[in-house]
Amino acid sequence: MRTMAVFAEYIWMDGHRPTQKLRCKTKILPLDAVGSLEDLPEWGFDGSSTMQADGHSSDCMLRPVSYFHDPIRGGPHVLVMCEVFNADGTVHPSNTRAKLRAIAEKAAGEECWFGIEQEYTMFRGMQPLGWPENGFPAPQGPYYCGIGADEVFGRDLVEAHLAACIEAGLAISGINAEVMPGQWEFQVGPVGPLEVSDQLWVARWLLYRVGEEFGINATLHPKPVKGDWNGAGAHTNFSTKAMRSEGGIKVIEEACEKLGKAHKKHIGGYGAHNTERLTGLHETCSIDEFRYGVSDRGASIRIPLATAQAGKGYLEDRRPAANMDPYVVTRLMIETICLDAPGDKALETVQVRA
């Protein structure tokens, strides 16, 4: 878009419960004004309209924390991920990123990497994309990584979203059609905890924004269709420098043991409505159980075969739901695995959303 100004799209998480949603608004800045993060000013918004403040004292503050090329508007325009603060400068309770900042700093020496697989389901109106007006499509089987107009729905949106993510500079590492028709996945990473989380939120924003052009909305609900249909997760792949080095498999197994002791704490922060998804069916482990194993897609934690064979690599936490907050999930994993934080009890700090 040709313009005499920079359009900076400020993006933040609101106070919606049980799952926070994205909000955004555009700030006009002088052309050539944005050369680094410091050039993006703080900005206010009406917190009473986003479930973040009362009407009589409604001002909240947006502080830019990372920014990307805007692939929608193009040109000099930017997408700006923000943290939310109260008017007095204190961290807003909905600001889950602030807690991750502190924990990531403590564990910096471990060189934690995360790769997140974001599953999502496309809807047109009330109907998953490609589903008949009445009734159901043919049972699951051919759709995962499928090809052909009878098996794959929404590819034009998926391709447009992928191109937008790459143009924005996000560390997208792949996409695939999922087990349920109308369901897809993209992967971000592996990068550090703050990077993967900021980028996942921006990639979600782009998914919704590109979807507007197609009249399709993506949902991150972990069980968008009840019954014998796969749910939607956000498998979180994790490694430290020690796990990636010679003998790393031992460190990975120790991490699995620690995760087992903190199972309830993690489930509490892994997304709302996850009970509907973690049933023990459809490539999940029951929410009431904890198991880990090599190549096991029915376990809570899977050690990829290539990792077991190489004796080093990473682990996959399969429990997080598609609607999880990556600032919370990456923080919990670092706390449990790297900082030996207290185990099996529901911590008050787990999440602003129940």
Query: Which stretches of the chain bind Mn ion, using CB under 5 A?
Result: 117, 185, 235
Peptide bond into 342 cis (omega under 30): no
Do residues 14 and 50 lie in contact, with contact meaning Cβ atoms separated by under 8 Å?
Answer: yes
Binding residues for ligand ADP restricted to 228-247, rule: CB under 6 A: 235, 237-239, 244
Q: Which does 239 bind (CB under 5 to 8 A by kind): Mn ion, ligand ADP, none?
A: ligand ADP
Q: Between 185 and 335, whose beta carbon lies closer to Mn ion?
A: 185
Do residues 128 and 182 lie in contact, with contact meaning Cβ atoms separated by under 8 Å?
Answer: yes
Contact call for residue 205 and ligand ADP (CB under 6 A): no
Judged by CB under 6 A, which of 119, 198, 316, 317 binds ligand ADP? Answer: 316
Q: Between 223 and 235, whose beta carbon lies closer to Mn ion?
A: 235
Contact call for residue 9 and ligand ADP (CB under 6 A): no
Q: Between 14 and 185, whose beta carbon lies closer to Mn ion?
A: 185
Question: What are 45-49's contacts with CB under 8 Å, separation 24+?
Answer: 45/12, 47/15, 47/84, 47/92
Could you tell me which residues are beta bridge partners of residue 282? none
Rounded distance between C-alpha atoms, residue 271 and residue 321, angstroms: 5
Sign of CA dihedral 176, 177, 182, 185: negative
Contact call for residue 14 and ligand ADP (CB under 6 A): no
Contact call for residue 131 and ligand ADP (CB under 6 A): no
Minimum distance from residue 191 beta carbon to ligand ADP (Å): 8
Contact call for residue 183 and ligand ADP (CB under 6 A): no
Identify the CA nearest to 323 among candidates 12, 21, 50, 15.
21
Interaction site with ligand ADP (CB under 6 A): 113-115, 117, 173-174, 187, 189-190, 235, 237-239, 244, 313-314, 316
